[in-house]
Amino acid sequence: MMAIKPHGRSSIFLGSDGLWHGYVTMGVKEDGTLDRRHRKAKTETEVTAKVRKLETQRDAGLIDKPGRVPTVAE
């Protein structure tokens, strides 16, 4: 049985694809939905480091706007 974490907490888990996935709540988007960032890696250690980096950026207020960066063609 999985324990439910409080809102705003990061989560790390092993996916059915064999990769480790991490989700970090960065804040709230302009439309009112949560800004959840996703990172994945082959090992739990790697994804934990990526999640901690995002958490550090969030806590320092150094986060980018949600969404992907436009390509050169766009």
Q: What is the pLDDT of residues 35-46, one digit of tens each?
A: 899 999 999 999
Residue ranges of the alpha helices (H) in 12-67? 44-60
Mean pLDDT of the chain: 86
- The answer to whether residues 7 and 13 touch, using CB atoms and an 8 Å cutoff, is no
Task: State if pTM tops 0.95.
Answer: no
Dihedrals φ, ψ of 63, to 5°?
-100, 150
Closest CA to 54 of 64, 67, 43: 64
The position carrying tokens 């480790």 is 20
Q: For the chain, list residues with pLDDT below 70.
A: 1-8, 67
